[in-house]
Structure 1
Amino acid sequence: MSQDSDEVFRPGEIVPESGIYGCDCGQRHEYSTDVKGHPFPPLHGACTGSGWRLKTPAHPNS
Structure 2
Amino acid sequence: MDEMTRMHRPGEKVPASGIYECTCGQGHRFTSTDVLGHTFPPVPHECSGVGWNLLTPAHAERSP
Q: Same fold (TM over 0.5)?
A: yes
TM-score, normalized by length of structure 2?
Answer: 0.75
Q: How does 1:1-62 map to 2 (within 5 A)?
A: 5-28=4-27, 30-34=28-32, 35-37=34-36, 38-59=38-59
Instruction: Write the deviation string for residues 40-61 of structure 1: whole angstroms up to 9, x where unpaired.
Output: 011113110000000010128x
**CA RMSD, aligned part only?**
1.6
Counterpart CA distance in 2 for 1:6 and 1:50 is 15
Counterpart CA distance in 2 for 1:42 and 1:24 is 12
TM-score, normalized by length of structure 1?
Answer: 0.77
Counterpart CA distance in 2 for 1:13 and 1:21 is 13
List alignment gaps of at least 5 residues for structure 2. Answer: none
Percent identity for Structure 1 against Structure 2 = 51
Q: What is the count of residue pairs matched by the alignment?
A: 55
Q: Which one has a larger percent helix, Structure 1 or Structure 2?
A: 2
